[in-house]
Amino acid sequence: MRGLYIHIPFCVRKCSYCDFYSLPGRQDRIKPYVSAVITEARAYAGLSFHTLYLGGGTPSLLGAEQLKNLIGGLRQTFDLGGLVEATVEVNPESATPGFLGAAMDAGINRVSLGVQSLSDCELESVGRVHTAARAIDAVTLSRNLGFTSLSADLIIGLPGQTWDTLSAALETLVRLGINHLSVYCLALEEGTPLAQRPPGNLPSDDTQAELFELARAFLIGEEFIHYEISNFARKDHECLHNINYWRGGEYLGLGSAAASHLQGRRSRNRPALDAYVENPTGQAEYVETLGGEEKAAEEAMLRLRLLVEGIDPGVLSGRFSPATIETLVSRLDSMVLSRMLEFDNSRYVLPASRILTSNEIFREVLGTGTGGVPGGRHCEV
């Protein structure tokens, strides 16, 4: 499995919580940016991919024509014959019939909508561009155009949010035929306007936890599977592209600030739009190659995010040598004894009670919880 990620760092407006790399008011650069992505792609010409994901920023700001150019360019450069899932993130305000139709024509088969909330107060309080009604329209439009895989993002912990508003949103989305939901807890990221001036009605961490538990119960009642810490899906609607991240799989990220994982090597492009357009292939700013034991520990940590699939010891020993995973496996076993993990159906899985307090477990899996970080890391900047 190999994934292809394209980062589209353009936004109409920056939401107050957002610390992703995206720039408002730079849409004039979309065209040269798309060309730059194709140029960067050529450095990897001939690679084959099974999933494609256009994320952002706001990919729907590309418009029909640039979307067509982008995907056309990618198809020319790569072997996309085996593509099984192609997702585009769409913001409600730019979910036009023209764009969605072009996406359909270009072979996109999954739409992920940035709904975030269905309360206008909540949306406005964090600077979202769209209204609840517009978001509902976007879902309906996507469905009517024939997209059968529909995902929506929801944020837990928006200013003034209660179970009333959250449950109404969940119900509406489920009724509209959404079959995948990413439910994120709002985090005050350093340097964001929200963190600098947090409003008084921001739900506490405890309230967030409570809302999340309620949402989880609701979605499970609606026969969604809680397959990853922040992701719920109806059967066979899990996001394959993201699952690949959590299985420690390979992916190529193209575009400014995009991250890649190829041949055991992690890297990330510098978050600098103009520099990227100028020199698309010279932007890798952080390259890291982990040594065997650390690599295995990192993969175990990622796989534990998959709540149902967990870690299959057989899969692990298929990917790493016995010596490499020896201490990791004994660590996992002792974590089962101390009830930080469960061993169920011959897989290590995160206990449901620990989903929201999993950091401690992940630290332990990484081997940083008890002693030093195992050696063997190789960093270049």
Residues near another protein (CB under 8 A) are 3, 5, 7, 20, 55, 184-185, 187, 205-206, 208-210, 212, 229-230, 242, 245-246, 251, 253, 258-261, 266, 268, 286, 288, 298, 301-302, 305, 355-360, 362-363, 366, 368-369, 373
To the nearest whole angstrom, how small is the minimum distance from the Cβ of residue 51 to another protein?
A: 12
- 101: exposed, middle or buried (C-beta count within 10 Å: 0-12, 13-18, 19+)? middle
Q: Which is nearer to another protein, 3 or 92 (CB)?
A: 3
Nearer to another protein, 92 or 253 (CB): 253
- How near is the Cβ of 203 to another protein at its closest, in Å? 11
Can you spell out the DSSP letters for 122-139? HHHHTT-SS-HHHHHHHH
Q: In 3D, which of 66, 54, 56, 55 has the Cα closest to residue 15? A: 56
Please name which of 287, 241, 297, 285 lies closest in space to residue 263, comparing C-alpha atoms.
287
Q: Can you tell me the distance from the alpha carbon of 369 to that of 226, in angstroms, rounded to the nearest whole number?
A: 27
Contacts of 113 (CB under 8 A, 6+ apart): 89, 90, 91, 92, 95, 135, 138, 139, 142, 150, 151, 152, 153, 178
Q: Closer to another protein at the Cβ: 300 or 316?
A: 300
Instruction: Work out the number of other CB atoms within 10 angstroms of the CB of residue 3.
Output: 23
Nearer to another protein, 101 or 163 (CB): 163
Which H helix or E strand runs over 109? none
Nearer to another protein, 18 or 168 (CB): 18
Q: How far is the CB of 93 from another protein (least distance, A)?
A: 22
